[in-house]
Structure 1
Amino acid sequence: MNFNIYCDESGNSGGNYLDPQQPFYVLSGWLVPQNISYRAKNRVKHFKDSYYGEKEELKGSEILRSNIGQHNANTLFREIGEYCTPFYVIAEKRYCIAAKIVETYLDPIHNNKIPMEHTWKNAERKDIADLIYNTCERAIEEFGRVYKNPEVNKFTQVLELLIEELNEKGFIELGKIFSGAYDYMDAIFEEEFSMIEYFPNNAMRTLNLPIFISFIQLIEEFSTKVDLKKVSMYHDNTKQFYKAYPEAFNWYAAKKKEDFKLVLQNGQVILSSLKKLKSMSFTDSLDSPLIQAADVFASFLNMYSTRVMMDKKISPESKKFGKLVIGGLLQSSKSDGLRLTDLVSSKYFVKKLAFSQGLIDELPSKESLIEYPRFSLYSM
């Protein structure tokens, strides 16, 4: 059986990772068997005509402003859930800066204190990113600003600030390891600049392209495990990434002499090529009811995540959404090994999500999550 997935995003702030009003970026979609996609589309059309007949199309930013609108959105998700499977990736922008710091300064090619095999130890690297997230506020702020307008000397200044903060908090050994990047600052800058220049419209300076790649990996992994025949992707029109998304997609979709599946330290799988996900194209949301449904879904995910993170009041309908979508999907992904979601976020945010779902009785402070790391690279 062939399948289609209709997707859209929420929280796009370009290269601004520090926007306090938009702490998350979300990419989500609905996977539906091709031969019954018309039923799901008709459900969305019927919903729009019944609740928002005066609107040209469904927009989450408009619908979700009230508890009634959130109730309506939950109704929509239940109805199309009879035919569609939801997928999503949530990226916490501030954590992504911490992860980018690790990627930049702890690259074995550009740091003489890092063994090459540490590249694949993503669990340890995520722990380091979490440590930076919890302890190095100034370095994160400065790196976020520098990344928008990169210069060699500014990359060096961020490294100095990072090591200073690590030393202040007692993580002296980790600071020494980061110092191994000092001799490679020109090469680090050149690589960052060349990656930014490779894709049009500064696509690599935003979260959009990396999260898009994570999303297609998520869909491919799921489709392979359940042995779907063929999947076609439809994304809402986006001028900024009209060239970058297809170029990234085609890099994975192109036939390769050698295909491989890389299993990282924490069990995450990286696929070198796409076998099930055969095509991606852009579609105007006005012409696609299911892309409109993806917009509402992405917006609700973003709104819920933001309110949880900022300790804002969560409406009754948002709580229902969180329990069904956030809690339910996260639990199902753990239980049967079929990942429908990916969270690129700090452990602190995960704890906040768990607290919002009543899965833990007390929310730990960010400070309580700081612990001295025990990394294998210390023994090198």
Structure 2
Amino acid sequence: MTIHNATVFCDESGNTGANLLDRDQPLFVVGGWLVNDNCHEMAEGLVEEAHKLLHPPDGELHGVRLLHTSRGIMGMRQLIRALLMVYCAPICQIIEKRFLLAVTLYEFYLDVRFNKNTPTSIDNDWEQKHVFGEAVYRLPDDLLTQFAQTHSSLDKQLVLETLRDITRALTLQSDDDLASLLIGSIPYIDDIIDYHKFGRTHFDSITLNAPNVASFHMFFHSLEQIGREAEIPRLTLIHDENPQFQNTFQKVFEHFRDDPRDDSYREGPWSQVFLGFRSLKDLRFANSKNEPLLQAADIFTCMLHKYAVNIYKGIPNSPTLTEVAGMFLKEPPECPAIVRIITSDQFCTKLKTFK
């Protein structure tokens, strides 16, 4: 059996920069299609057929625009089903921004290197980390907003004030154990701030605080894992052009791809981190107008994003959106999608409940 090289076409939906508490855009989706070289021509042909059916005014399929009409939604559904029939594999991550902010908060103050109260065993205790994330997730919006500003500025006084406000709030909601652990970071605040300032010598705080980089980081490690397990000799990732982030994306990608250690470790229940890539070798950026399968990635991520946001806001979904989402979000999966849902338990349950 010949094992072919493959390309992943990737796009994002729900970008609101560093505002992780945006009520209008509470979720961030990154995903696309893994296409084997031997299926590439057929897959592009299916996108061209969708063009003939939908007649996009500027010659490009845009998921956000197509979602406004029933004809557009049906055309998106048809294209997704057709791509599955030619063995294109959909891959995506659905991230709740508020939960991502909660995880960032406890990791900021509970880093085992700078908090002697934090047990070293926590690095591999994903269930406990998730419990901590849920506790911080329940904090009032004003406190999470305060931490977001703290994380961006790294002002020492604000870092300490935020820590004290958060520990008081956690105690009030009976999360005393977490509050006690967080207090252990007080003697090491200078070290925490210096560490994060050093990490920003190459990247601005707006870029680092946005969900894009963290999501992309998890996504390309997922692709490396897929490539290894499927024994794909060479996997290429093509991302839609993104002037704000692509320089950072390239640096982060090359940092892990070129690491000489050839090792791996678990970063969390969602991601295996690889130091040195064996399969995922290339990252490129392209204009979706010139890459039909980037348009297919846009359609896939837009449909899942729209469905998930409607669930989040309590808005009824159309039968077509529900049908498409059900193909990828039901457990066990009914297609070869690799979907990572990084959210609070409450929202994850809602997302996977189909009536």
Smaller-chain TM-score range? over 0.9
1:131 to 123, 132, 135: 135
1:273 to 270, 273, 276: 276
Deviations 1:213-254 (A, max 9, x none): 100111111121121121111111111122111111111111
Q: Which amino acid is the alignment partner of residue 200 of structure 2?
A: I
Q: Which amino acid is the alignment partner of residue 279 of structure 1?
A: D
Q: Does structure 2 conserve the Cα–Cα contact (< 8 Å) formed by 1:136 and 1:166?
A: no
Q: Which amino acid is the alignment partner of residue 57 of structure 1?
A: E
Query: Greater CA deviation, 52-61 or 11-20?
Result: 52-61
Instruction: Please give the residue correspondences for 1:143-162 in structure 2 after superposition, counting only pairs within 5 Å.
Output: 143-162=147-166
**In structure 2, what is the equivalent of residue 305 of structure 1?**
308
Q: Does structure 2 conserve the Cα–Cα contact (< 8 Å) formed by 1:7 and 1:28?
A: yes
Instruction: Please give the residue correspondences for 1:36-55 in structure 2 after superposition, counting only pairs within 5 Å.
Output: 36-55=39-58
**In structure 2, what is the equivalent of residue 376 of structure 1?**
none
**In structure 1, what is the equivalent of residue 23 of structure 2?**
20
Instruction: Give the Å deviation of 1:349.
Output: 1.0
**In structure 1, what is the equivalent of residue 262 of structure 2?**
259
Residues in 2 aligned to 1:354 and 1:283: alpha-carbon distance in whole angstroms: 33
Instruction: Please give the residue correspondences for 1:1-380 in structure 2 after superposition, counting only pairs within 5 Å.
Output: 1-83=4-86, 84-199=88-203, 202-256=206-260, 258-263=261-266, 266=269, 269-327=272-330, 330-332=331-333, 340-355=338-353, 357-358=354-355
Q: Does structure 2 conserve the Cα–Cα contact (< 8 Å) formed by 1:121 and 1:264?
A: no
Q: Which amino acid is the alignment partner of residue 114 of structure 1?
A: T
Q: Which amino acid is the alignment partner of residue 32 of structure 1?
A: V
Q: Does structure 2 conserve the Cα–Cα contact (< 8 Å) formed by 1:9 and 1:27?
A: yes
SS of the aligned residue for 1:184 comes to helix
SS of the aligned residue for 2:251 comes to helix
Residues in 1 aligned to 2:246 and 2:238: alpha-carbon distance in whole angstroms: 12
Q: Which amino acid is the alignment partner of residue 13 of structure 1?
A: T
Residues in 1 aligned to 2:297 and 2:341: alpha-carbon distance in whole angstroms: 18
Query: Greater CA deviation, 297-306 or 280-289?
Result: 297-306
Query: Greater CA deviation, 16-25 or 183-192?
Result: 183-192
SS of the aligned residue for 1:110 comes to coil
TM-score, with normalisation over the residues of structure 1?
A: 0.87
Deviations 1:258-301 (A, max 9, x none): 32222467585332221111101001101001001111111111
Q: Which amino acid is the alignment partner of residue 245 of structure 2?
A: F
Residues in 1 aligned to 2:46 and 2:160: alpha-carbon distance in whole angstroms: 55
Q: Which amino acid is the alignment partner of residue 120 of structure 2?
A: M
Deviations 1:311-347 (A, max 9, x none): 11211111111211222xx5239x9xx8712122111
Distance 1:239-1:264 versus aligned 2 partners, 3 A rule: closer
Instruction: Give the Å deviation of 1:122.
Output: 2.7
Deviations 1:46-95 (A, max 9, x none): 11122124332111110112333222111110111122100001111000
Residues in 2 aligned to 1:264 and 1:154: alpha-carbon distance in whole angstroms: 28
Distance 1:259-1:339 versus aligned 2 partners, 3 A rule: farther
Instruction: Give the Å deviation of 1:128.
Output: 0.6
Instruction: Give the Å deviation of 1:136.
Output: 4.7
SS of the aligned residue for 1:286 comes to coil
Gaps of 5+ in 2: none
TM-score, with normalisation over the residues of structure 2?
A: 0.92
Residues in 1 aligned to 2:75 and 2:292: alpha-carbon distance in whole angstroms: 16
Q: Which amino acid is the alignment partner of residue 68 of structure 1?
A: R
SS of the aligned residue for 1:112 comes to coil
% identity of equivalent residues: 23
Deviations 1:15-73 (A, max 9, x none): 11111110011111100111320110111011112212433211111011233322211
Residues in 2 aligned to 1:112 and 1:60: alpha-carbon distance in whole angstroms: 48
Q: Does structure 1 conserve the Cα–Cα contact (< 8 Å) formed by 2:7 and 2:235?
A: yes
Q: Which amino acid is the alignment partner of residue 99 of structure 1?
A: V
Residues in 1 aligned to 2:247 and 2:267: alpha-carbon distance in whole angstroms: 30
Residues in 2 aligned to 1:33 and 1:25: alpha-carbon distance in whole angstroms: 26
Residues in 1 aligned to 2:199 and 2:27: alpha-carbon distance in whole angstroms: 23
